Amino acid sequence: MPTKTKSEIASTTEGELERLVGDLRELLASKELDDIPAIKQVRQRLEDGVQSVRDATVRAAQDTAQRAMDAARAADSYAHDEPWRVASAALAVGALVGFLLARR
């Protein structure tokens, strides 16, 4: 039996979790269960949890975008402050890539 990679395990786990959440949503969306106070509480906690995860995801995406913009600004500033160093580094990388491709 072949060993699963980490990405395969993560994918399988993610799929199982999605199915479980889908099943829970179907169960909690059942109108027959609206008369049970405990089900209303569970439904509310689940909805609050989903909203919390969505908010955290949005914040993480915004933070990542801000970091990327900050890095781009820093790179742009460095390129303007040190144009010869940037040109030299680009020349060195280009020469290295050219040398490696020529060896093929």
Determine the average pLDDT of the residues in 85-97: 91
pLDDT exceeds cutoff 80 at 4:
no
* pTM metric for this prediction: 0.50
Rounded to 5 degrees, what are φ and ψ at 81? -80, -35
Q: How many CB atoms lie within 10 A of CB 86?
A: 14
Q: State the pLDDT at residue 6.
A: 65
Q: How far is it, in rounded angstroms, from Cα 86 to Cα 76?
A: 10
Mean pLDDT of the chain: 83
Query: Which tokens in the block code for residue 11?
Result: 């994918």
Domain spans, the chain: 6-102
Highest mean pLDDT: which range of 8-22, 46-60, 80-94: 80-94
